[in-house]
């Protein structure tokens, strides 16, 4: 009896889709755990991935990722192949890019994430057995692997995060929302698409790919983020604090003559502009305060009634002018009084007042006229 030969097939965690049109990018789906099977034996997996990539002939590629991670060496090999690829690579996180999957994501020339997708980085992990020397060697190897991962992250984030910050984030096992991933430079933009996700026990299921949160050091962080995604936006906007804020903004809008009612869902830009305009109005009015009771009363009324500085400038200037004229007239009267007093006192103690000369009279008159004219 002859022997039956069984052909072993290499499991693949990626799938390449043909282009529908010649000018459209090809699509590659990298879903599920990044496996290491046969990676070290004969490099079949790495070779197969390279062959599939080469078959695209350098056309643009949309790499769709939804993976809890896996083998870091497999991820590094894929990263290097994608970085060497001639076509433009757009990486899209279809749900989760965690652990080793983040390395592959960083190969994208552009990285996009739906608003409820997740991105997680942590230190590389391994199983180790042996004596103390062997354990120390394993730890040293893990440090080397971590350094290579950090090098990838630094290249992608382009200065938005430092090496020390990355080390701290990896030590802490950091779970990021799409907005946070953009802030740190791991992603470039957030789409308004939504990932279908749910939690069943410890299993986080995103676009049909399951991730066992119990395998991670801080899986509860992912659960907390997931639960925040589930809160209805209207419920969040109906809190007492938001109601008070909207009420204040509406008052400001009314003072500015904005007839349109501000709804909770209204664009924040319009609200911010209204607040800024009101702040500038108050600042400009307060800059006109002089300490004069009449002037300041006009300004305070304007603050309460929604008037701007330009609206009351004429009234304020008129009061100032009247005050200046009052000061001139008071000075003229005082000068005349002083001259009369001087003449009266010059005849004190029985001494007859001397008659002023023509020049002295003219000088006194000139002084009074100059004071009256504000000179």
Please confirm, yes or no, whether 122 is among the known catalytic residues: yes
Selecting among 122, 155, 208, 214, the annotated active-site residue is: 122
3-state SS of the chain?
CCCCCCCCCCCCCEEEECCCCCCCCEEEEEECCECCCCCCCCCHHHHHHHHHHHCCCCCCEEEEEEECCECHHHHHHHHHHHHHCCCCEEEEEEEEEECHHHHHHCCCCEEEEECCCEEEECCCCCCCCCCHHHHHHHHHHHHHHHHHHHHHHHHHHCCCCCHHHHHHHHHCCEEEEHHHHHHHCCCCEEECCCCCEEEECCEEEECCEEEEHHHCCCHHHHHHHHHHHHCCHHHHHCCHHHHHHHHHHHHHHHHCCCCCCCCCCCCHHHHHHHHHHHHHHHHHHHCCCCCCHHHHHHHHHHHHHCCCHHHHHHHHHHHHHHHHHHHHHHHHHHHHHHHHHHHHHCCHHHCCCCCCCHHHHHHHHHHHHHHHCCC
Catalytic residue among 36, 99, 218, 354: 99
Active-site positions?
99, 122
């Amino acid at each position: 009896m002859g022997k039956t030969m069984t052909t072993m097939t290499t499991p693949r965690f990626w799938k390449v889709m043909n282009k529908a049109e010649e000018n459209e990018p090809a699509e590659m789906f990298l879903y599920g755990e990044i496996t290491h099977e046969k990676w070290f034996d004969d490099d079949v997996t790495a070779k197969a991935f390279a062959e599939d990539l080469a078959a695209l002939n350098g056309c643009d590629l949309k790499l769709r990722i939804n993976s809890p991670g896996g083998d870091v060496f497999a991820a590094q090999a894929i990263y290097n192949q994608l970085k060497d690829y001639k076509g433009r690579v757009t990486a899209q996180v279809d749900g989760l890019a965690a652990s080793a999957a983040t390395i592959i994501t960083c190969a994208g020339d552009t990285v996009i994430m739906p608003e409820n997708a997740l991105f997680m980085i942590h230190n590389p992990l391994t199983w180790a057995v042996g004596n103390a020397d062997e354990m120390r060697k394993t730890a040293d190897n893990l440090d080397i692997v971590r350094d290579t991962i950090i090098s990838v992250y630094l290249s992608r984030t382009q200065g938005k995060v430092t090496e020390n910050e990355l080390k701290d984030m990896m030590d802490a096992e950091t779970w990021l929302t799409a907005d946070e991933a953009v802030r740190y430079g791991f992603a470039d933009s957030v789409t308004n698409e939504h990932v279908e996700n749910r939690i069943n026990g410890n299993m986080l299921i995103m676009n049909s790919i399951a991730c066992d949160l119990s395998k991670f050091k801080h899986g509860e962080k992912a659960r907390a983020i997931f639960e925040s995604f589930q809160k209805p936006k209207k419920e969040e906007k109906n809190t007492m604090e938001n109601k008070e804020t909207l009420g204040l903004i509406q008052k400001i809008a009314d003072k500015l003559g904005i007839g349109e009612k501000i709804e909770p869902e209204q664009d924040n830009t319009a609200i911010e502009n209204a607040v800024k305009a009101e702040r500038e109005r108050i600042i400009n009015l307060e800059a006109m305060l002089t300490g004069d009771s009449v002037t300041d009363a006009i300004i305070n009324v304007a603050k309460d009634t929604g008037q701007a500085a330009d609206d009351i400038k004429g009234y304020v200037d008129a009061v100032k002018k009247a005050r200046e004229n009052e000061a001139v007239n008071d000075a003229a009267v005082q000068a005349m009084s002083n001259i009369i007093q001087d003449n009266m006192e010059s005849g004190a103690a029985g001494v007859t007042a001397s008659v002023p000369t023509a020049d002295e009279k003219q000088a006194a008159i000139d002084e009074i006229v100059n004071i009256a004219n504000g000179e």
